[in-house]
Amino acid sequence: MKSSCEAHEGKGRKTIQSAFEETKKRLCASQECDWMSGYYQFCNRIAIVQFLMTHGAKARLLNLYFTGDKGDKRRTCPRNSEEWQKGLMEQKGLMERALHVGLPAGHALSDRIHDLFLEVCPQTHDAAPPPNTGAEECLQLDDVEADPKFVVMMESSASDIRAGRVVSHAEVKKRFGG
């Protein structure tokens, strides 16, 4: 979750800082929050959604949080969505003394940013899956598609597509000079 901007001093870094400052103003986030370090990737995604929205694109951000992975020496993986909550609250600036992102409740993009928790290996918590059943791959598509939050998100996306509020990646590149 934690990351910092690795852009070198100069035009690129200044462009990112300027975009972050503009986004914080538009979303009424605390200007003291340092979006360049701590949670740079998350802040960058918020800034991109804000940029797209100000240019007429009906953008959304879907944060996928995986649970139940085994992890290794480099990382610890939350076993469930509750184990994600402390880090997410810290990231969003909801904990005492946490001024990382500092978005106020009900900010302009709050209905466009979604969190989805997906269990990677449901069977690995209690016992290994039976061999040669396909369960070794762990991520169960049926479980993902049955998740009520996923269903709501997909229905909303389908509605946006039918209403013509979604454009292709090629169209976004053409509109924004990419």
Q: What is the pLDDT of residues 158-178, one digit of tens each?
A: 787 778 777 766 776 677 665
Confirm whether 1 is domain-assigned: no
Tokens 């946006």 sit on residue: 160
Confirm whether 177 is domain-assigned: no
The model carries a pTM of 0.64
Q: Which residues contact 130 (CB under 8 A, 6 or more apart)?
A: none
Task: Give me the mean pLDDT over the 92-114 stretch.
Answer: 74
Confirm whether 78 is domain-assigned: yes
Confirm whether 4 is domain-assigned: no
Please state at what angle helix 40-54 crosses helix 11-27, rounded to 10 degrees: 70
| 25 residue type, one letter | K
Q: Which of 48, 175, 22 lies closest to 112, judged by CA?
A: 48
Residue 140 banded pLDDT, cuts 50, 70, 90: low
Confirm whether 6 is domain-assigned: no
Confirm whether 3 is domain-assigned: no
Confirm whether 118 is domain-assigned: yes
By the 8 A CB rule, do 117 and 84 touch? Answer: yes
Instruction: Give pLDDT tens digits for 43-102.
Output: 999 999 999 999 999 999 998 888 887 766 777 788 888 888 877 877 766 544 445 788
Instruction: Give pLDDT tens digits for 7-31.
Output: 888 778 999 999 999 999 999 988 8
Domain that holds residue 156: 11-171
Res. 134: pLDDT tops 70: no
Confirm whether 178 is domain-assigned: no
Q: Which residues contact 20 (CB under 8 A, 6 or more apart)?
A: 35, 36, 43, 47
Three-state secondary structure call for residue 157: helix
Quote the Cα angle for 92-2-13, to 5°.
95
Count the domains in the chain.
1
